Amino acid sequence: MDRLKRCFLGFLFGCLAILFSATPVTAESGNEAVLEASRPHVILILTDDQGWGDVSCYSGTDLHTPHIDRLAAEGIRFTRMRANCTVCSPTRAAMMTGRYADRVGVPGVIRTHPQNSWGFLDPATPTLADSLNEVGYHTALVGKWHLGLESPNTPNERGFDFFHGFLGDMMDDYWEHSRHGNNYLRRNQEVIRAEGHATDVFTEWANAYLRERAEQPDQPFFLFLSYNAPHFPIQPPEDWLRRVQERSPGMEKRRALNVAFVEHLDDAIGKVLAVLEETGLAENTLVVFTADNGGSIPHAQCNLPWRDGKQSHYDGGLRVPFLIHWPTKVAGSAENNYAGLTFDIFPTFLELAGAEIPEDLDAVSLVPLMRGEALPEGRELYFVRREGGDRYGGKAYEAVIRDGWKLLQNDPWSPLELYHLREDPQETTNRIEQAPRIARELRAALRAHIQRGGQVPWQRSEAD
């Protein structure tokens, strides 16, 4: 069946689902809002290395993020969400598939040099874009991809009708846009060039897409707006840095650079929200904002009050801002303390789109929480990262959380550590010796996760 037929049938089935859906449920949290049975446009805004303390509606005190804060004030602010991994590619792979990253072949970072690349996205696993496309959504990725540089893992081959962005892992310069001297900017399959700061470029491209979709009001869309900021190199525009230094002359230069970088990014997000209003798309557009992992401590990013940062399985590397915004559909100024993972957007978006949710997902739909209902507590959460170099040796290290306990390593050579997160959320006291039964149980759980992940290749074979 060709794509046109599939899109038509998906649209038809979606309309029928709306007509025969159950009565909406009222959510109460300060004010009442109704989660109606409709097929919203969905936008996922993902930032890169933006820590908990680099958003002012979380714990940020020395920077201003009014546009991100607006998403929180008018939506749901999650306080216990974690990224699927402490680095980029695995989190992105998990979010795009609804499965733990090692179960889709991406336990580590996919890089531009094969000898230092630690993942290969399983070509047989459907992506979020595939699944939404099947039910009639137009799908687009603007910005950073980081899940493959070539066939079969380019965005257009993984479900995105439209791609306008960057294939690689990071930019060596936000104005020059290359990586190791290579140009990874693409418009679909076409190699392109751009002028300006990458954050501004991606924002302009996203807004152009939104204006185009506003001309097609009968077809819902999914936009994955994936910024590479505030990933290092920390390069804010000079005028933004000057504003921060004038406002806070005593701020250390490295921190001022990062604050300016984040505030410039927040302003870009504000421009996207403005276009949603301008085009009339805002009312029926669900926006999720989050980050792919915690901030980088060596680059003066902030994850307080959590311990450590990017690359670490302590919560500073995993806790991320997570906001759901859908005007008139979810309660504004709501706070939710459900402990989930960022890949929970996968079944959430599918459920709202009227798509079938695969039974083998590891992710959990957040739609009940949007209705003001509850999800079971005590869910087991698993984390893995594989990495090269002398510190990691190409090996993986893992963590697991269950019933308030967290078992972890931060490199393959160190002993396992155990923390009781309810009593010790800052992870200051290793309880591995004091709680041997808990440690044994979590070790067994970790082994089971590792065995499941081991069923999927994470390097490309000659046959692929």
Q: Give pLDDT tens digits for 25-34.
A: 333 333 333 4
Claim to verify: residue 448 and residue 310 sit in the same structural domain: no
- Name the domain boundary from 321, 342, 370: 370
Q: Give pLDDT tens digits for 373-432.
A: 999 988 999 999 999 999 999 999 999 999 999 999 999 999 999 999 999 999 999 999
Q: Which of 400, 383, 395, 382 is nearest to 440 (CA)?
A: 400
What confidence tier does 332 reach under pLDDT thresholds 50, 70, 90?
Answer: confident
Q: What is the reported pLDDT for 3?
A: 41
Q: Which of 108, 141, 93 is nearest to 343 (CA)?
A: 93
Sign of CA dihedral 301, 227, 101, 98: positive
Report percent pLDDT > 90 for the chain: 89
Inform me whether the pLDDT recorded for 11 exceeds 90.
no
Instruction: Centre a 10 Å sphere on the Cβ of residue 63 and count the other Cβ atoms it contains.
Output: 23
Claim to verify: residue 212 and residue 76 sit in the same structural domain: yes
Token pair for 343 = 């890949």
d(C-alpha 188, C-alpha 161), whole Å: 8
Q: List the domain range (segments joined by +) for residue 164.
A: 26-370
Number of domains in the chain: 2
Inform me whether the pLDDT recorded for 14 exceeds 60.
no
Claim to verify: residue 285 and residue 422 sit in the same structural domain: no
Inform me whether the pLDDT recorded for 113 exceeds 70.
yes
What average pLDDT does range 48-57 have in this prediction? 97
User: What integer best gives the mean pLDDT of the chain?
Assistant: 92
What average pLDDT does range 342-371 have in this prediction? 97
Claim to verify: residue 112 and residue 223 sit in the same structural domain: yes
- Look at residue 332 and tell me if it is in a domain: yes
Claim to verify: residue 322 and residue 407 sit in the same structural domain: no
d(C-alpha 418, C-alpha 396), whole Å: 18
**Do strands 25-29 and 31-35 pair parallel, antiparallel, or not at all (unpaired)?**
antiparallel
Claim to verify: residue 413 and residue 353 sit in the same structural domain: no
Claim to verify: residue 265 and residue 401 sit in the same structural domain: no
Q: Exposure string (b/e) for 76-93, b if CB count within 10 Å is 16 or more?
A: bbbeebbbbbbbbbbbbb
| Contact in structure between 152 and 133 (CB atoms under 8 Å) | no
Claim to verify: residue 265 and residue 143 sit in the same structural domain: yes
Claim to verify: residue 80 and residue 221 sit in the same structural domain: yes
Q: Exposure string (b/e) for 163-202, b if CB count within 10 Å is 16 or more?
A: bbbbbbbbbeebeebebeeebbbbeeeeeeebeebbbbbb
CATH code: domain of residue 132: 3.40.720.10
Claim to verify: residue 358 and residue 431 sit in the same structural domain: no
Claim to verify: residue 261 and residue 332 sit in the same structural domain: yes
Q: Give pLDDT tens digits for 143-164.
A: 999 999 999 999 999 999 999 9
Claim to verify: residue 68 and residue 203 sit in the same structural domain: yes
Q: Where is 138: in which H helix or E strand?
A: strand 138-144
